[in-house]
């Protein structure tokens, strides 16, 4: 059953039940109030009437009494104090004498007969000087009147109930349309996303839960679209990165096969270099894909970060010397941090080799700062520097500020992306402060205590 139909039916059911309960309770309450009111009034009036009849009896005896109770005639005949009887004109009033013989009957049926009191009638004695001279019997029944009154109330309630039900039906249809419309829009949008129409979004009109679902859906679609773009870019970048070394390898091998070039050691050295470049790229990609999937194995232990820095500096000393770059480490000489020393070594290697690569003569200084909560490592160079507009993209995969220059200098464009993912896996942060012409300062921090 559709949600709209469910809401409408539920609303109608609630209204109809509420109306039925209200009708039952009001009928009961009215019936009770009605009979109490009539009973009290009738008793009071019968007693007044009995005293009027006693007065009449004292003056006239029973003679002419039956005429007094002719329906609607009591007052017209000017019999003092009988006006009250008009109240009972629709009921039967009987007066008996001391012996129980009927002396007056508004229906004029039982006059002269002995009257046996039936159940449900009111009997009031007619007293004169403390002595019973007769009885006043009223067969007044409020039943019919009460029944009519209650049934008219019931009828009014049923009409109101029907009106309310129709109203509930209209409100239910309106509400369900209003609620189901965004759901239909959302389900159509989800189908479009599934059909790879990734730019599709849903309009968000309200700030309620439905609006929130719409906004969340749009956010999810945005993220799917972004990831799809990244995936496409990554495939294009990988293909692009592999093409150059592979075409160099292929070209050289073909030339060797056709004996156009000599199989000299330099040729093999160049082929070897290209194959190293390819395997480095594949290794980097593998690290990143593992980091993305969250299954990159980290071997955390308490290690001396200063020791790791010294090791990497030693490895790169010769390369720096080739470019006349002074490589020096400052700051703490022993500082234990919970880390994977191999991965952090790789982060340092990427950052320091970048600093050497993008510096023509000068100095590359590595500083370890022992801060209260973090250990911070700075790799500051006196190189080219990076323009502000490139900084936000530096840590993206395959991002290079000057593509041709960097390809020539051997970078894959993955070094900083890898450094970022490794540092973040340690719960740390990495960023850069740089100015064109003034060099760059790459900084990463690692938390001192790390809960596993």
Q: In the complex, which residues of this chain contact ligand ADP (CB under 6 A)? A: 350, 354-355, 358, 381, 383-384, 386, 394, 399-401, 406, 411-417, 440
- Measured in degrees and rounded to the nearest 5, phi and psi for residue 137 equal -120, 130
Between residues 288 and 414, which has the closer beta carbon with respect to ligand ADP?
414
Cα four-point dihedral sign 227, 229, 230, 231: positive
Is the distance from CB of 207 to CB of 214 less than 8 angstroms? no
The least distance separating ligand ADP from the CB of residue 250, rounded to whole angstroms, comes to: 23
Residue nearest to ligand ADP (CB): 411
The least distance separating ligand ADP from the CB of residue 344, rounded to whole angstroms, comes to: 16
Between residues 277 and 426, which has the closer beta carbon with respect to ligand ADP?
277
Is the distance from CB of 397 to CB of 411 less than 8 angstroms? no
The least distance separating ligand ADP from the CB of residue 451, rounded to whole angstroms, comes to: 30
The least distance separating ligand ADP from the CB of residue 285, rounded to whole angstroms, comes to: 13
Q: Which of 53, 221, 199 is nearest to 126 (CA)?
A: 53
Between residues 241 and 303, which has the closer beta carbon with respect to ligand ADP?
241
Between residues 368 and 379, which has the closer beta carbon with respect to ligand ADP?
379
The least distance separating ligand ADP from the CB of residue 385, rounded to whole angstroms, comes to: 6
Whole-angstrom Cα distance, residue 293 to residue 113?
A: 111
Whole-angstrom Cα distance, residue 39 to residue 46?
A: 11
Between residues 4 and 439, which has the closer beta carbon with respect to ligand ADP?
439
The least distance separating ligand ADP from the CB of residue 265, rounded to whole angstroms, comes to: 27
Between residues 117 and 296, which has the closer beta carbon with respect to ligand ADP?
296
The least distance separating ligand ADP from the CB of residue 195, rounded to whole angstroms, comes to: 36
Between residues 79 and 354, which has the closer beta carbon with respect to ligand ADP?
354
Is the distance from CB of 27 to CB of 153 less than 8 angstroms? yes
Between residues 88 and 358, which has the closer beta carbon with respect to ligand ADP?
358
Give, for 364, the enclosing helix (H) or strand (E).
strand 362-370
Tally of residues, the chain: 452
Between residues 303 and 378, which has the closer beta carbon with respect to ligand ADP?
378
Neighbour-count burial of 77, counting CB atoms closer than 10 A to its CB (0-12 exposed, 13-18 middle, 19+ buried) = exposed
Q: Which residues pair with 365 in a beta bridge?
A: 328, 380
Q: Tell me the CA distances in angstroms from 201 to 73, 182, 338, 434, one per residue in order.
A: 88, 12, 45, 38
**Pairing relationship of beta strands 439-447 and 301-304 according to DSSP bridges:** unpaired
> Could you please report the per-residue DSSP string of 265-306?
HHHHHHHHHHHHHHHHHHHHHHHHHHHHHT------EEEEHH
Is the distance from CB of 200 to CB of 189 less than 8 angstroms? yes
The least distance separating ligand ADP from the CB of residue 377, rounded to whole angstroms, comes to: 14
The least distance separating ligand ADP from the CB of residue 421, rounded to whole angstroms, comes to: 11
């Amino acid at each position: 059953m559709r949600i709209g139909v469910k809401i409408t039916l539920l609303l109608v059911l609630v209204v109809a039940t509420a109306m039925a309960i209200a009708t039952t309770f009001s009928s009961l309450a009215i019936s009770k109030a009605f009979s109490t009111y009539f009973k009290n009034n009738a008793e009071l009036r019968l007693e007044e009437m009995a005293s009027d009849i006693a007065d009449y009896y004292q003056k006239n005896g029973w003679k002419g009494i039956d005429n007094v109770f002719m329906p609607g005639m009591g007052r017209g005949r000017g019999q003092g104090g009988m006006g009250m009887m008009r109240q009972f004109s629709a009921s039967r009033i009987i007066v008996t004498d001391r012996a129980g013989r009927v002396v007056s009957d508004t229906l004029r049926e039982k006059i002269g007969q002995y009257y046996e009191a039936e159940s449900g009638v009111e009997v009031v004695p007619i007293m004169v000087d403390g002595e019973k001279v007769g009885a006043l019997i009223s067969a007044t029944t409020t039943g019919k009147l009460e029944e009519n009154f209650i049934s008219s109330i019931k009828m009014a309630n049923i009409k109101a109930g029907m009106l309310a039900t129709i109203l509930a039906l209209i409100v239910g249809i309106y509400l369900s349309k209003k609620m189901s419309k965004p759901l239909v829009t959302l389900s159509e949008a989800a189908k479009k996303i599934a059909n790879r129409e990734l730019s599709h979004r849903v309009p968000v009109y309200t700030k309620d839960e439905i609006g929130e679902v719409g906004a969340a859906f749009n956010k999810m679609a945005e993220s799917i679209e972004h990831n799809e773009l990244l995936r496409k870019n990554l495939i294009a970048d990988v293909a692009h990165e592999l093409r150059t070394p592979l075409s160099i390898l292929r070209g050289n091998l073909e030339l060797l096969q056709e004996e156009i070039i000599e199989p000299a050691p330099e040729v093999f050295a160049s082929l070897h270099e290209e194959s190293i470049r390819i395997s480095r790229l594949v290794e980097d990609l593998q690290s990143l894909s593992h980091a993305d999937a969250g299954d990159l194995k980290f071997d955390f232990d308490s290690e001396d970060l200063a020791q790791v820095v010294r090791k990497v500096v030693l490895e790169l000393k010769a390369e720096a010397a080739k470019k006349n770059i002074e490589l020096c480490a400052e700051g703490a000489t022993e500082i234990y941090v919970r880390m994977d020393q191999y991965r952090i070594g790789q982060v340092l290697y990427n950052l320091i080799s970048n600093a050497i690569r993008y510096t023509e003569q000068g100095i590359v200084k590595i500083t370890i700062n022992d801060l209260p909560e973090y250990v911070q490592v700075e790799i500051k160079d006196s190189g080219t520097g990076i323009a502000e507009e490139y900084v936000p993209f530096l840590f993206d995969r395959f991002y290079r500020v000057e593509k041709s220059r960097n390809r020539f200098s051997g970078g894959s464009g993955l070094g900083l992306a890898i450094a970022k993912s490794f540092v973040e896996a340690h719960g740390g942060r990495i960023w850069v402060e740089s100015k064109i012409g003034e060099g760059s300062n790459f900084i990463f921090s690692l938390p001192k205590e790390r809960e596993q």
